[in-house]
Amino acid sequence: MSQSAKAGVGYDSQLTNLIYRTSRGTCFRMHLHILGICGTFMGGIAALARESGHRVTGCDANVYPPMSTQLESLGIELVAGYGAEQLALNPDVFVIGNVVSRGNALMEAILDAGARYVSGPQWLAENVLRGKHVLAVAGTHGKTTTTSMLSYVLDAAGVASGFLIGGIAKDHGISARLRAKDGREAKYFVVEADEYDTAFFDKRSKFVHYGPRTAVLNNLEFDHADIFPDLAAIERQFHHLVRSVPASGRIIVNATSAALRAVLAMGCWSQRESFGDESGWHFTSEGQLDFAGERFGELTLKMPGEHNRMNAMAAIAAARHVGVDPKVALSALTQFGGVARRMELRGEVNGVRVYDDFAHHPTAIAASIGALRETLRGNERIVAVFEPRSNTMKQGAMRDALAPSLAGADLVYSFSGAVNWNVGEALESIKEKSRDVKDLQQLVDTLVANARRGDHLLFMSNGGFGGIHSKVLQALTNRTV
């Protein structure tokens, strides 16, 4: 218990949950101060902690929607930056995000003071997941969409479940929820299981903390070049996840992934189902969802793309493990509204559509362009606008795959102000339709000057992209006045 809590009005030392009262009379269990609170995962931790009855404050260097909006709606107090003076907040525990490293002023102050701290994944495991049937969705691509689909299906089927998603599903309107949709205690919990490292003091992948009983292995490719030297290192982390699934649990694995086959070859002690080929869950030539010879019906999604059909198959298989009829899941997914920042239409002006998409890995870039291509009619064009912002991209690890991944677009613009390698040179093979720009306003002006009716402007970045979506929409509006 922090000294600030003990000094609060009405503190009751008899309460085992360490409840204390502020001077306003609000009841809290504990005070958590979250470092890196505006990341999608840590923002979800904040939401769960708030719903659990804790006082939650937090700090971050960069704040942008959708997470900033969610935190504001929850009444969570934010502090800009990582100043050491935040130590004076004296919370019961500091919860540390993996964006925080040694040398961070607040972290150094925490260490010097000997204050209590814990990683986000460990806090989640100890305070939320314990005692629940955890359904974890792992993979290089599609984690957020598949997790959102799975939680949506469980809601539709009346399964009492909570969730933590690395994004905001439009149907939920939030990224995390502790209890069931109708307020019941949640027996099940769906979590997006990220392979990125836990914290500067715990270099294991986040997902090793979760102890799932149902584990989806969606796909596996090399990524996160800042922490993994090669694909084999990531495969080893995925095998740590496999090792944590009980024998009565179930692993649902993408049969088309050679890397995942290598992971399971290291050992698997659980039930196993595959999807993506005729040996497991698959779509027949007639479009029927089939498993072990039983056909459940056709899949109709609002979201285009083969990758989303694979995501849906994985979600249906996982939901079946907790008793949901695949026919019920198929019916539910016809109404699934998608996820913020996954080919999200931000607006349309005079026939020019502007999309926000989280794609930042070459495979995801190609999948997004291919999915959008399915929706085009006549002479409509895809104008792909890409920001190489991820740590992997900044290191140039994917430079050779960049041009092929963008080749399906009609025009390509890259915004390379944050990298120190020659993006234009990497796009040499598609130079006749590509251009690299280093100034954001210049990029906005160029896009607007060349936009024509029927264009689909697809902005791809794992960050806020400098608010370019609204800038372009406003400039297009001004152009038509």
User: What's 416's domain CATH number?
Assistant: 3.90.190.20
139 in any annotated domain: yes
Say whether both 362 and 259 belong to one domain: no
Query: Domain of 39: which CATH number?
Result: 3.40.50.720
Identify the domain boundary among 280, 314, 333. 333
What residues does 4 pair with on adjacent strands?
none
Give the integer Cα–Cα distance in Å for 455 and 410.
10
Give the integer Cα–Cα distance in Å for 439 and 448.
14
42 in any annotated domain: yes
Give the integer Cα–Cα distance in Å for 66 and 464.
10
Say whether both 162 and 106 belong to one domain: no
The residue ranges of DSSP E strands in 116-184, in sequence order, are 117-119, 133-138, 161-164, 176-177
Which of 187, 185, 232 minimizes the C-alpha distance to 213? 187
Stated as kind and residue range, the H or E segment containing 345 is: strand 344-349
Residue with tokens 């493990």: 321
Half-sphere exposure of 459 (CA within 13 A, CB side): 26
Predicted local confidence at residue 3, as pLDDT: 37
Which of 141, 147, 192 minimizes the C-alpha distance to 360? 141
Say whether both 148 and 256 belong to one domain: yes
Identify the domain boundary among 119, 154, 178. 119
Say whether both 474 and 356 belong to one domain: yes
Predicted local confidence at residue 65, as pLDDT: 63
Structural domain that includes position 358: 344-480
339 in any annotated domain: no
Which of 250, 309, 303 minimizes the C-alpha distance to 276? 309
Say whether both 294 and 359 belong to one domain: no
Q: How many residues are recorded in the chain? A: 481
Its pTM stands at: 0.86
Say whether both 275 and 198 belong to one domain: yes
Say whether both 162 and 19 belong to one domain: no
Say whether both 317 and 172 belong to one domain: yes
Give the integer Cα–Cα distance in Å for 377 and 453.
12
125 in any annotated domain: no
Query: Domain of 259: which CATH number?
Result: 3.40.1190.10
Predicted local confidence at residue 462, as pLDDT: 85
372 in any annotated domain: yes
The contacts of residue 191 (CB under 8 Å, 6+ apart) are 124, 129, 134, 135, 136, 137, 147, 163, 164, 210, 212
Which of 448, 429, 337 minimizes the C-alpha distance to 385? 448
17 DSSP 8-state letter? T
Say whether both 385 and 353 belong to one domain: yes
- pLDDT averages per 10-residue partition of the chain, 481 residues: 34 30 54 94 94 94 72 87 96 97 98 98 96 97 94 97 90 92 95 95 96 97 85 95 97 97 97 95 95 95 92 98 98 92 91 92 91 93 92 81 94 88 90 93 95 96 89 91 56
30 in any annotated domain: yes
338 in any annotated domain: no
363 in any annotated domain: yes
Say whether both 321 and 181 belong to one domain: yes
Say whether both 44 and 109 belong to one domain: yes
Identify the domain boundary among 309, 333, 357. 333
Say whether both 33 and 178 belong to one domain: no
Predicted local confidence at residue 184, as pLDDT: 94
What residues does 56 pair with on adjacent strands?
32
Structure token pair of residue 294: 């039983």
Give the integer Cα–Cα distance in Å for 305 and 455.
19
Structure token pair of residue 207: 């997902």
Number of domains into which the chain is organized: 3
